[in-house]
Amino acid sequence: MGANIAVIYAGNAAAAEKVCKKCGQRYSVEARAYQCNVADFSAVKEAVVKIRADFGTVQFLVNNAGITHDGLLAMMKEEDFDAVLDTNLKGAFNMIRHMTGLFIRAREGCIINITSVSGMMGNAGQCNYSASKAGLIGLTKSVAKELAPKGIRCNAVAPGFIATDMTGNQTDNPLLDMIPLGKMGEPEDVADAVAYLAAAKYVTGEVLRVDGGIAM
C-alpha cells in the first residue's frame, strides 16, 4: 500500500483521469484529479482546500507542472517569457505556499520540485525555460533552509534529456552526443529519483541530477 494521490491538471481531464486510474490499479491507492491553473494563486488555494477535505492531510508535494515556449532571445515575445515563468516557477511557489500550512501543522512534510539541467547549464533558445528552472533551484534551497526547523524537507530533481511528450523525438539531436551515458533517460528514471528523495529523511536542499552525466 502506498500514499493516496491528488493529481492536479490544467486542461486535459482525460489524461489526468487515466493517470489516476493507473495509479489506483497499480498501487491499490485512491487517486483523484483536480483541475487547477497552478499559476493562479487563488485557484491553487481553492484546490488545496478541496484536497484537504478529501484526504485530510498531505505528506508529499511534487511540483511537476512545466511548459515551454522556446525561441531565440531577440525574437521572444514578452507573453511567452511570462507564461513559462508563471507556470514553472510561480506555480511551484503557489503550491508550496498553500501546502506549507498543512505540513507545519503535521510537523513534517516533503516537497520535491522538478527542475532541469537547463536551469544549471542554460540552453540557447530557452532563456525563459532555463530562467524558470534556475529560479526553481533557488526556491528549493531557500524553502529547505526556511522550513527545516519545522521538520519539512525540500529537494529538487534535475532531469536532462528524458523521453516525454514535451521533448518529442530527439534521436537526431546533436546534443545527445554530449551525454556520457549515450542515451536519453526514461520517465521511470525521474520517478526513481523522486521516490528516493521522498524516503531520504536526512536529505534536504539538494538538487539530484538525472541526466546521464551531461551536467557533471
DSSP string, 25-43: HHH---EEEEE--TT-HHH
Q: Which residue is associated with the grid cell 505556499? A: 97
The residue from 9, 27, 129, 196 that is catalytic is 129
Neighbours of 117 (CB within 10 A): 22
Q: Is 129 a catalytic residue?
A: yes
DSSP string, the chain: ----EEEEESS-HHHHHHHHHHHHHHH---EEEEE--TT-HHHHHHHHHHHHHHHS---EEEE-------B-GGG--HHHHHHHHIIIIIHHHHHHHHHHHHHHHHT-EEEEEE--THHHH--TTBHHHHHHHHHHHHHHHHHHHHHGGGTEEEEEEEE-SB-STTT---TT-GGGGG-TT-S-B-HHHHHHHHHHHHH-TT--S-EEEESTTTT-
Residues 125/70, Cβ–Cβ less than 8 Å:
yes
> Which residues have a catalytic role annotated?
129
